[in-house]
């Protein structure tokens, strides 16, 4: 009875604190992710109020949070949208991967963490935060802008690449070897391809089967199906998150919209628990030693994301200001970087990777909305400055020409 009371007190305090932090973030028009991570650091080992009885339950809630994050992401897209994006926007996806994954891999190798850590850190620096970016797009009123489809296409390609990346990194972290890892990847690709094929051809049938006019029944069926598929996927050595993502893709139309509305509060709750859980496993004292590499990596990858968005928007024929807006919008990192780092931390890879990922995400989840807001202003000032330079150069030339003495007709004769 005593342990049950302690659990209720601890877990209730966590939820209450997350609610207050979320309200604070909303007032500041800011992403709550950094505040949730800081709360985890405060409640974890080495923090102000270390948890005891409720940590195991928080771990389960964190796993559900990852599953719901990926499910909700899958609900945003149809299989047809994914296929169309792959056909038309894959060059932007390749540029995005090259420019933003390589700095992370290089940093891990420079720090001497080894090739597996390099693959992990490459994923952390590669994937932008779809949740933060979608919120910022709405807050800034840019959903109808010409560059927005370019931004969303890059995010879709990043999210789709998770279906391949997560099984690969899971196999590497498990140390299953090349042969077993190849089998895992083949299974993951086969399952992903099969689900996409079924979703394209029989998406309406699946949605009709899941559909219900009763919100309670719809919630139970979708949530139960998602957890079942996620569990089967994990049993097959494929990431549970990938299974949830594919379930979301398979649902479409009114079912997807209804499930999205019903699951959004649950997603927000368990996602917040997930960020707290990640913070719990990071000792605050371990962050200062990796703060400088995290800051350097944040600066480099912020610039590479801006370059990615600029190039992709230019390729789509967007104006110069729109190119800068697209680049600035992609800077934020968040939930998926933490998901990847969480896999590495639980597998026992280099202990410095978790603190570095925490510091890196904290920096860019704060800087991301600022670059989204102010790159447009910077681009406008640069454009005006460039236009003013020729005019300024022309004025002194004309003044010098007027100041020259008139030629002497006598002397010239």
What pLDDT, in 10s, does the model give residues 224-256? 888 888 888 777 666 677 778 778 877 877 788
**Structural tokens at position 322:** 């729109």
pLDDT band at 394 (very low <50, low <70, confident <90, very high): low
DSSP string, 98-116: HHHHHHHHHHHHHTT--HH
* Centroid of chain to Cα 336: 5
Q: Which residue has the higher pLDDT, 249 or 147?
A: 147
195 in Cβ contact with 249 (< 8 Å): yes
pTM of the predicted model as reported, rounded to 2 decimal places: 0.71
Per-residue pLDDT at 412 exceeds 50:
no
**For 348, which DSSP code?**
T
Measured CA distances, 22 to 8, 26, 302, 389 (Å): 21, 6, 25, 47
Per-residue pLDDT at 272 exceeds 50:
yes
Burial call 178-198: b when 16+ CB within 10 Å, e when fewer: eeebeebbeebeebbeebbeb
93-107 pLDDT tens trace: 899 999 999 999 999
Mean pLDDT of the chain: 78
pLDDT at 259: 86
- Highest-scoring range by mean pLDDT, 205-209, 307-311, 316-320: 307-311
45-94 pLDDT tens trace: 655 666 655 566 777 887 888 788 778 877 876 666 666 766 777 888 89
Please classify residue 280 by burial: count the beta carbons closer than 10 Å to its beta carbon, then call 0-12 exposed, 13-18 middle and 19+ buried. Answer: buried
Mean pLDDT of 174-184: 62
């Amino acid at each position: 009875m005593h342990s049950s009371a302690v659990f209720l007190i601890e877990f209730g305090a966590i939820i209450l604190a997350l609610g207050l932090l979320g309200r604070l973030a909303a007032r500041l028009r800011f992403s709550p992710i950094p505040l949730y991570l800081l709360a985890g650091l405060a409640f974890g080992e080495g923090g102000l109020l270390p948890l005891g009885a409720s940590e195991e339950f928080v771990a389960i809630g964190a796993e559900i949070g990852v599953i719901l994050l990926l499910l909700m992401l899958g609900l945003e897209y149809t299989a047809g949208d994914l296929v169309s994006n792959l056909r038309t926007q894959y060059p932007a996806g390749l540029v995005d991967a090259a420019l933003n994954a390589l700095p992370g891999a290089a940093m891990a190798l420079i720090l001497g963490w080894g090739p597996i850590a390099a693959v992990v850190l490459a994923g952390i620096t590669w994937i932008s935060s779809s949740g933060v970016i979608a919120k910022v797009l709405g807050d800034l009123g840019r959903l109808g802008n010409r560059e927005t489809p370019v931004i969303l296409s890059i995010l879709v390609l990043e999210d789709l690449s998770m279906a391949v990346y997560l099984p690969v990194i899971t196999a590497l972290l498990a140390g299953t070897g090349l042969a077993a890892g190849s089998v895992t990847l083949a299974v993951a690709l086969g399952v992903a391809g099969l689900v996409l094929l079924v979703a394209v051809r029989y998406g309406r049938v699946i949605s009709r089967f899941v559909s219900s006019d009763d919100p309670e029944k719809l919630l139970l069926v979708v949530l139960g199906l998602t957890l079942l598929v996620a569990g089967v996927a994990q049993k097959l050595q494929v990431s549970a998150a990938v299974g949830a993502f594919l379930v979301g893709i398979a649902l479409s139309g009114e079912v997807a919209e209804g499930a999205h509305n019903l699951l959004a509060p649950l997603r927000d709750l368990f996602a917040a628990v997930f960020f707290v859980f990640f913070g719990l496993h990071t000792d605050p004292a371990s962050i200062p030693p990796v703060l400088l590499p995290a800051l350097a990596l944040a600066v480099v990858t912020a610039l590479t994301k801006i370059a990615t968005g600029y190039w992709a928007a230019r390729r789509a024929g967007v104006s110069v200001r729109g190119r800068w807006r697209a680049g600035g919008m992609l800077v934020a990192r968040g939930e998926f970087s933490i998901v990847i780092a969480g896999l590495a931390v639980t597998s026992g890879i280099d202990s410095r990777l978790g603190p570095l990922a925490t510091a890196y995400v904290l920096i860019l989840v704060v800087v991301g909305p600022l670059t989204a807001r102010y790159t447009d202003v910077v681009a406008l000032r640069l454009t005006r400055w460039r236009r003013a330079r020729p005019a300024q150069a022309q004025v002194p030339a004309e003044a010098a020409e007027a100041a020259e003495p008139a030629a002497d007709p006598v002397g010239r004769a």
